[in-house]
Homo-oligomer: A and B are copies of this chain.
């Protein structure tokens, strides 16, 4: 039950806190060049029209690179920017509603933190579940660290792909894949330094050498 052509190997989350001062288009081109396979855009404290303008910019770069582009939370922005789908948190629209709005071809991912949420995402029609925070992370301070055991536990019950998020580095990515994740998502690990292409390449190399990939 994996959406055809959906490569979840390396999922970059464009968080504005890690973009500040840099050109959004340049950052996205660097991510693509470094080998990310899916790009998600997250914005919170921004006007809708500005969000759309930024989403259209990311859409343009990702379309040329043939990298799927997801919008976090905002289904309206996803539709208006011709994104490939949405990534939904537990306090965003339910995946079932998003599916109704976006149709069967859209990619829908859901952030989950335990088996119950992951199974709910699957039964609601999500194409993948993100699970985390796997390790401690600097991006969010108030997260619960679920560890590799949670990946194994959820993997044994879930049919849709699982993406690990939270504190994933090129060094620990192998253990995450070995535990059953299909891919990894990163924010600060990809965007935290000025060398985005190199950071993405290190993740890709780790993924390409990992057991299940």
A residues neighboring B (CB under 8 Å): 47-50, 52, 73-76, 79-80, 90-94, 97, 100-101
Asked if A93 meets B52 with Cβ closer than 8 Å, knowing A76-B76, A80-B101, A101-B80, the reply is yes
Q: Are A50 and B91 touching (Cβ within 8 A)?
A: yes
Q: Which 8 A-B pairs have the closest CB atoms?
A: A75-B76, A76-B76, A47-B91, A48-B92, A80-B97, A49-B91, A79-B101, A48-B93
For this complex, 11 residue pairs linking A to B, each with C-beta atoms less than 8 Å apart, are A47-B92, A48-B73, A48-B93, A49-B91, A49-B92, A75-B76, A76-B76, A76-B79, A79-B101, A80-B93, A80-B100
- Cross-interface CB contact of A76 among B49, B74, B90, cutoff 8 Å: B74
CA of A75 to CA of B102 in the docked complex: distance in angstroms?
13
For residue A163, give the distance in angstroms from its CB to the closest CB of chain B: 21
Other A-B contacts than A49-B94, A80-B101, 7 sampled, CB-CB below 8 A, are A47-B92, A48-B74, A49-B91, A52-B97, A76-B93, A79-B101, A80-B100
Find chain B residues with CB under 8 A from A94 CB.
Answer: 49
Find chain B residues with CB under 8 A from A80 CB.
Answer: 75, 93, 97, 100-101
**A75 and chain B: residue at smallest CB distance:** B76
**A47 and chain B: residue at smallest CB distance:** B91
For residue A118, give the distance in angstroms from its CB to the closest CB of chain B: 18
CA of A10 to CA of B148 in the docked complex: distance in angstroms?
58
**A91 and chain B: residue at smallest CB distance:** B47
Please indicate which of the listed interface residues A47, A76, A90, A100 has the most CB atoms of chain B within 10 Å of its own CB. A76
Q: Are B93 and A49 touching (Cβ within 8 A)?
A: yes
CA of A73 to CA of B77 in the docked complex: distance in angstroms?
11
**A102 and chain B: residue at smallest CB distance:** B76
Please indicate which of the listed interface residues A50, A80, A94 has the most CB atoms of chain B within 10 Å of its own CB. A80
Find chain B residues with CB under 8 A from A74 CB.
Answer: 48, 76
CA of A76 to CA of B71 in the docked complex: distance in angstroms?
13
CA of A37 to CA of B48 in the docked complex: distance in angstroms?
27
Find chain B residues with CB under 8 A from A97 CB.
Answer: 52, 80
